[in-house]
Amino acid sequence: MDLVSARQQMSAIRASMAASEEDVGDVQSFGRDKTYLGVVSTDSVTLQADCSGVPPDSGICIETNPAPGATSVDETDLGVINLPAKATNSLLCFTVTQFSTWIWQNSTAAQATGDMSLYVTVQIENDALLGLADADGNPFNGTLFDFPNPIVVSTQQSSLPPGAFELQRERTTRSCTGGFVSARSLAAEGLTDAQIKDFFNSPMTVRFGTSGNVSLVDIAIFFAGIRLYGD
């Protein structure tokens, strides 16, 4: 079969598979193949009382506040995937696995609640968003960020007696449903069909980070592995 005939046959197959929004929920990606777009492991973030002896090339180290105070985390650009133009048709999906290890420690003289809440953050840069604004009139400034729900979270709380010292580990994987971004989500933000097409036809950079907070933790280490795919 020559290339022209193959393309005609594929067009006929897709036409015969046509479905409505009511039928499948996402007509833009319906019937399309999955395309793998890259993989990255974020730099680790370590939280401990003293970072003076931590080598600079071992990742981010944040010194924790004295117990029982909380310590906030907001680190960006811990992992990057650069996508060329037209890397995906209408969807940017993911599989994310977080790796977290921490030690509860209550060095106070009273019962207290420890908190371990760290999550992966995502920021998508695309020049097609320059000069555009979201549905509320806020300018994108070329960037999508602050997604409604963290994509994967390590969150635990524990009531700790005085002197408590306990090692914990957690591994959680989450796969895509609506994706980081899709033609459907961009339409909900007020973009036109032409602007959405321009978005997916343009190169984009996806940056990953870590945010959250911890308390009553002697040491905590958090990082994630991410694979992207599209249609």
How far is the CA of 182 from the CAs of 28, 93, 102, 174, 199, in angstroms? 9, 9, 35, 18, 10
Question: Residue 54: its pLDDT value, please?
Answer: 85
Rg of the chain in Å (alpha carbons): 22
- φ, ψ dihedrals at 3, nearest 5°: -65, -40
Q: What is the mean pLDDT of the chain?
A: 87
**Which stretch of DSSP H or E encloses residue 9?**
helix 3-16
Question: Residue 178: its pLDDT value, please?
Answer: 76
Question: Residue 134: its pLDDT value, please?
Answer: 87
Do 68 and 109 touch, CB atoms closer than 8 A?
no
Report which of 207, 183, 204 is spatially closest to residue 195, judged by C-alpha positions: 183
Question: Residue 56: its pLDDT value, please?
Answer: 80
Polymer length in residues for the chain: 231
The segments of the chain whose pLDDT lies below 70 read 1-18, 21-25, 31, 146-154
CA distance 175 to 178: 10
